[in-house]
A and B are shown apart, each in its own frame.
Chain A
């Protein structure tokens, strides 16, 4: 150990390249951890009935579920961007009393079971809920509609965007924003011309994560929105339904969902580096 320290002092750049930062046994545990995630996915891929894969995923019910999932996930991601960006800005760039509580509450859907989220939505926007009963008088009926699906998805996905963007905003720092402000730029101009372009990679990765979470939403949707083909039965609900009667179709659809999620995660994983490069 002392020799290593000496060496690294002598020529830090070269040594930092050769220096092995983690002990070897870490690799073993990490490998167990990685296998724990990868093996079940392989187990599922091994179960896919490739000969009938196309007919299974292109059945009327499957296509309806996939289209509904894509449509609702896009809508909920849009909602997350519209309301999540301001939330992240307030959390990262301002100080106000109760900020810690606001952050904790916004992140709550990350740790609360989705079925609990669904119940909470039901007792708020449902027909006899806190707000739902008033909406009912205005002729707005959310229950059993695609709107309910989008709301359930936005509820669980919003923290992903806020968390991701808040991190990017903090990493990017306020240096350029301060300079722009001293040059006379108004706050809205700073936001549009400096802040948002600077954290764009973080915003994209946050949006992608929110989209992925929306796509996989199950518990809150089932509890709050119900399940009807083409209206509220998204891909995860279709998989759960098929699982009993037609396991092959359930596996094929699961594979489809995993493939979409993988593409999304790979896209999102590349971006966290970008904000750091942008930092002065």
Chain B
């Protein structure tokens, strides 16, 4: 009786711990398994396995499209995507998350990966993004310019200065000679967009790509700055990746004309 109970407990704890371990390593296992099978199948080494891409949240639609294109070009390859704030992702990678490629929305965050000696080679600049003013389609505060949005009483929502889009908002305001009086400093650019699309805010500062993705849920008003703050997007392979060949091929796709077209169709600027 005692023995069986003890083994039951052991089994339960194995299941508990095992489930997490299995989920952690499953990506690697399937990758090596399919690599073996393809090596046996054809003489020419074809790309195969699972490529894990960690990318900034603003790249969600474009990188999803590019991943599908990559999988179509390489049928043996499965692309696993993880989108979040760049800073969150770089923390996850330095804490040991299994990423093969990292794409950040600014240079400062990519620098953190390089500092941790986890960036393979020099990160490549592949796109750029600038801020724009968005208002709800009804435009309750009758905003026609950046200066209107900075007026007292206007419910302007921006990113917090510590978040990249907030830093860009501050420097754009300085460039325009305006002092912003936001009613809320959101923690992510998607929250800013949400406050505008839901009609809570009179205006918000978001990236042009976010504004374009929101389609007719917002009206876009250009900031009209001579030299707006430009966020550079960088991509790099993670140095301890087991799939360096896949990572290099994916980065090549992103920087190739095909990848650039997808990015620029979504509103990204050239690198």
Q: Among the listed B9, B16, B162, B201, which residue makes an inter-chain contact with A241, where contact means beta carbons less than 8 Å apart?
A: B162
A126 touches B6 (CB 8 A): no
Chain B residues near A225: list those with CB within 8 A: 184
Q: Among the listed A32, A143, A223, which residue makes an inter-chain contact with B16, where contact means beta carbons less than 8 Å apart?
A: A32
In this assembly, does A28 line the interface, its C-beta being within 8 Å of a C-beta of chain B? yes
Chain B residues near A53: list those with CB within 8 A: none
Q: Among the listed A23, A123, A245, which residue makes an inter-chain contact with B162, where contact means beta carbons less than 8 Å apart?
A: A245
Interface string of B193-230 (1 = CB under 8 A from A): 01100111100000000000000000000000000000
In this assembly, does B123 line the interface, its C-beta being within 8 Å of a C-beta of chain A? no
Q: Among the listed B6, B187, B200, which residue makes an inter-chain contact with A25, where contact means beta carbons less than 8 Å apart?
A: B6
Rounded to whole angstroms, the CA-CA distance of A240 and B198 in the bound complex is 23
Chain A residues near B184: list those with CB within 8 A: 144, 225-228, 232
Q: Among the listed A24, A226, A237, A245, which residue makes an inter-chain contact with B157, where contact means beta carbons less than 8 Å apart?
A: A226
Rounded to whole angstroms, the CA-CA distance of A280 and B39 in the bound complex is 79
B191 touches A222 (CB 8 A): yes
Interface string of A157-190 (1 = CB under 8 A from B): 0000000000000000000000000000000000
Rounded to whole angstroms, the CA-CA distance of A144 and B158 in the bound complex is 13
In this assembly, does A103 line the interface, its C-beta being within 8 Å of a C-beta of chain B? no
In this assembly, does B182 line the interface, its C-beta being within 8 Å of a C-beta of chain A? yes
In this assembly, does B256 line the interface, its C-beta being within 8 Å of a C-beta of chain A? no
In this assembly, does B160 line the interface, its C-beta being within 8 Å of a C-beta of chain A? yes
Chain B residues near A241: list those with CB within 8 A: 160, 162-163, 187
In this assembly, does B88 line the interface, its C-beta being within 8 Å of a C-beta of chain A? yes
Q: Among the listed B12, B88, B199, which residue makes an inter-chain contact with A126, where contact means beta carbons less than 8 Å apart?
A: B199
A227 touches B160 (CB 8 A): yes
Tell me, rounded to whole Å, the shortest Cβ–Cβ distance linking A39 to chain B: 13
How large, as a class, is the contact surface on chain B? 20 to 34
Chain B residues near A237: list those with CB within 8 A: 187
Chain B residues near A144: list those with CB within 8 A: 155, 183-184, 200-201
Q: Among the listed A23, A228, A242, which residue makes an inter-chain contact with B185, where contact means beta carbons less than 8 Å apart?
A: A228
Chain A residues near B171: list those with CB within 8 A: none
B12 touches A29 (CB 8 A): yes
Rounded to whole angstroms, the CA-CA distance of A223 and B191 in the bound complex is 8
How large, as a class, is the contact surface on chain A? 20 to 34
Tell me, rounded to whole Å, the shortest Cβ–Cβ distance linking A217 to chain B: 15
Interface string of A233-277 (1 = CB under 8 A from B): 100010011101111000000000000000000000000000000
In this assembly, does A122 line the interface, its C-beta being within 8 Å of a C-beta of chain B? yes
B2, B8, B91, B195: residue with the most chain A Cβ atoms closer than 10 Å: B195
Which A residue's beta carbon lies closest to that of B8?
Answer: A25
In this assembly, does B87 line the interface, its C-beta being within 8 Å of a C-beta of chain A? yes
Chain A residues near B6: list those with CB within 8 A: 25
In this assembly, does A128 line the interface, its C-beta being within 8 Å of a C-beta of chain B? yes
A244 touches B9 (CB 8 A): no
Chain B residues near A229: list those with CB within 8 A: 185
Query: Given the known A-B contacts A143-B155, A237-B187, are A126 and B9 also in contact in the complex, defined by CB atoms under 8 Å?
Result: no
Chain B residues near A247: list those with CB within 8 A: 91
In this assembly, does B85 line the interface, its C-beta being within 8 Å of a C-beta of chain A? yes
Q: Among the listed A23, A28, A126, A244, which residue makes an inter-chain contact with B163, where contact means beta carbons less than 8 Å apart?
A: A244
Rounded to whole angstroms, the CA-CA distance of A52 and B95 in the bound complex is 23
Which B residue's beta carbon lies closest to that of A23?
Answer: B5
Tell me, rounded to whole Å, the shortest Cβ–Cβ distance linking A278 to chain B: 39
A227 touches B186 (CB 8 A): yes
Interface string of B1-23 (1 = CB under 8 A from A): 01001101100110010000000
Chain A residues near B140: list those with CB within 8 A: 127
Chain A residues near B199: list those with CB within 8 A: 126-128
B140, B184, B198, B200: residue with the most chain A Cβ atoms closer than 10 Å: B200
Interfacial residues of chain A within 76-131, with CB under 8 A of chain B in the complex: 122-123, 126-128
Tell me, rounded to whole Å, the shortest Cβ–Cβ distance linking A4 to chain B: 15
Rounded to whole angstroms, the CA-CA distance of A83 and B81 in the bound complex is 46
Chain A residues near B186: list those with CB within 8 A: 226-227
A227 touches B187 (CB 8 A): yes
A226 touches B163 (CB 8 A): no
Which A residue's beta carbon lies closest to that of B138?
Answer: A128
Rounded to whole angstroms, the CA-CA distance of A38 and B88 in the bound complex is 24
Query: Given the known A-B contacts A25-B5, A32-B16, are A226 and B183 also in contact in the complex, defined by CB atoms under 8 Å?
Result: yes
B9 touches A25 (CB 8 A): yes
Interfacial residues of chain B within 39-98, with CB under 8 A of chain A in the complex: 85, 87-88, 91
A128 touches B198 (CB 8 A): yes
Tell me, rounded to whole Å, the shortest Cβ–Cβ distance linking B18 to chain A: 13
Further pairs besides A128-B199, A128-B200, A144-B183: 11, Cβ < 8 Å: A24-B2, A25-B6, A29-B13, A123-B198, A126-B199, A127-B199, A128-B198, A144-B155, A227-B186, A240-B187, A246-B162
